[in-house]
Homo-oligomer: A and B are copies of this chain.
Amino acid sequence: MPKQFARLVDAEQSTFQATARRVAEPGLFARPTVIAAAESRFIVAEQLVQAGLSADIILEPQGRDSAAAVAVAALHSARTDPRAIVLIMAADHVIGDADAFRRAVAAAAEGARAGYTMTLGIEPTRPATDYGYIRRGSALSEAEGGAGGACTVERFVEKPDAAGAERLIAEGALWNSGYFLFRADVMIAELEAFVPDVLAGARAALQAATTDLDFVRLDADAFGQVPKISIDYAVMERTARAGVLPVSFAWSDVGTWDAVWGVLERDAQGNALRGRVELIGTRNSLVHSEGEGLTTVVGLEDVVVVTTPDAVLVASKAQSGRVKDLVSVLREKAHPEADAHRRMYRPWGWYQRIDIGERFQVKRIMVTPGGRLSLQKHFHRAEHWVVVKGTAEVTVDERVVLVHENEAVYLPIGSMHRLTNPGKIPLELIEVQVGSYTGEDDIIRVEDIYGR
C-alpha cells in the first residue's frame, strides 16, 4: 500500500489524512484538490470519508512527475480564480505542529501574492544527506512578506555528502521541504516560459477530462504526452522569482523507516512501538505490529520490525533505504505482496481473504452504505454469505431478498447474483466459497454501476 495511505506515524490516521486535515481550516484554505494515481481512487475517497473531509479528486492515468501535477493544480485552481494562491503538499510528509505550519503558510502567502513562487525551507536539525538544501538570498521587502523572514532563493542544492551538508548548514542553508506556494497565474506563466509542453499537455488533459463517479479523470492520451520532469527542474531552479520562508517546525519526508522512527514518540530505551509488541533487551528500534498478532524482539538494537497480516519486514535501521531494493526483488520474483494488499479496496468497499484451503476460500467483505457490487456469476464456485453486521440486499437469479445480521444466503454455482448495501451503516459479511477453483478471475460481470 502506498505509504501515504498507511497509518505509519499516527495510529489514528494516514499521512494523507493528516495532510488533508492540516488544511481543513475554512478561514485560511479553500476546498482542497487531491491529485492521485487512478488506481488509488477508492482508497483516497474512502480515507477522505473516514476523516470527515471532502475534496476535488483529479486522477492521473499515469504518473508524469511533479511538474505535470503542479500544472494541473494551477490550471484547475485558475478556473475558479486566476489569482488563487495554490499550496502544493506531498501527501506523505509528517509535520509536528499543524498550527505552526498554518502560520507559515499564511506568512508565505504574502510572497506568493506578490508574485513569488514560495517554498518552505526547514531549519536543519542535523547534517542530513537525504534532503536537498536551499541557500537563502536577500530578504524580501515588507510588502512581499519579508517581515516574517522570507528571502529570495539564492540557489537550490541537490542532496549533499556529509561534509557538504555540514558546510551548507554553517552557511545558513535550509532543507527543501518540497512545499510550494504560488499564484495560479504566476505558475502558469512560469510553466509557459520554461516548459510549454508540460503546460499544454496538462491543459489538454484537463479539458478532455471525464467525470467518473466523483472523480475527474484526466484524459489519458493527452496526459501521456506530457514530458516527465520535476517541478524543481522545470521551474524552481530556473525562475528569477523563487522565494523561501524559513520555518522551524518538526518535519520529515519519512522516506525511510529510519525517518519514520525519527518522527515517532519513543520510550526511555529509544523504542517506538505500535500495536501488540513485547521487547527484551532491545533499544533504538521501531516495532510496528498491525492486526491481532503479537510481535516480539529480543536483544537487538537499531532495527525496524514491521508486521502486518500480509507480510513481515525486519531491517537494519541504517539500511532501511534498501527496502526499495527489496520491493524490486519481490516484483522480480512475482510475490503478490509487492503490489497487492490483503485488504483490497473497491468502489463499493473492500474485501480481505481470511482463510484458504484446497477447495475453499473464506473472505470478509465490507460494503459501504449504498455500495453495489456488479451483477455476476462464477463457473467453479458456490458461495455462502453470512451477514455479521448491517443488512444486505441480495439478488439471486430472479429473486431479491433482504439478509439481516446473523442470516445467511446460498449462491449456487452458476447463479446470477448481486450484493447491495441498502442500509445506513456498513454491511459486513463472511463469504465462504466452495468449489474446484476459487481464483479472482472466475467472474463474469453482467452489469456494474462502476463501469468496470
Contacts and interface: CB of A to CB of B under 8 A. Distances in A.
A172 interface: no
B335 A313 contact: no
Nearest to A320: B298
A432 B434 contact: no
Interface stretch (A3-11, A161-169, A176-184, A299-307): A299-307
Contacts of A428: 357, 360
A432 B364 CA distance: 11
Nearest to A289: B312
A400 interface: no
B293 A315 contact: no
Contacts of A335: 276, 278, 294
Taken together, the copies of this chain in the complex come to 2
B410 A408 contact: yes
**Secondary structure class of chain A's binding surface, majority of residues:** strand
A338 to B, nearest CB: 9
A11 B289 CA distance: 26
Given A300-B315, A314-B298, A406 B430 contact: no
Interface in A294-342: 294-300, 303, 305, 307, 309-316, 318-320, 322-323, 325-326, 329-330, 333, 335, 337
Contact of A325 (B280, B289, B323, B362): B280
A373 to B, nearest CB: 20
Contact of A314 (B292, B303, B310, B356): B303
A329 B277 CA distance: 11
Contact of A311 (B280, B293, B298): B293
Interface in A411-451: 428, 430, 432, 434-435
B294 A314 contact: no
A267 interface: no
A49 B362 CA distance: 28
Nearest to A410: B408
A31 interface: no
A21 interface: no
Contacts of A295: 311-312, 314
Across the A-B interface, the 7 shortest Cβ-Cβ residue pairs: A299-B319, A299-B316, A298-B315, A360-B388, A406-B434, A354-B355, A386-B432
30 contacts: A278-B326, A278-B329, A280-B325, A280-B326, A292-B356, A293-B310, A294-B312, A294-B335, A296-B311, A296-B326, A297-B314, A297-B315, A298-B313, A298-B319, A298-B322, A299-B322, A300-B303, A300-B316, A305-B314, A307-B312, A314-B314, A355-B430, A357-B388, A358-B389, A359-B388, A360-B388, A362-B430, A384-B386, A384-B408, A408-B410
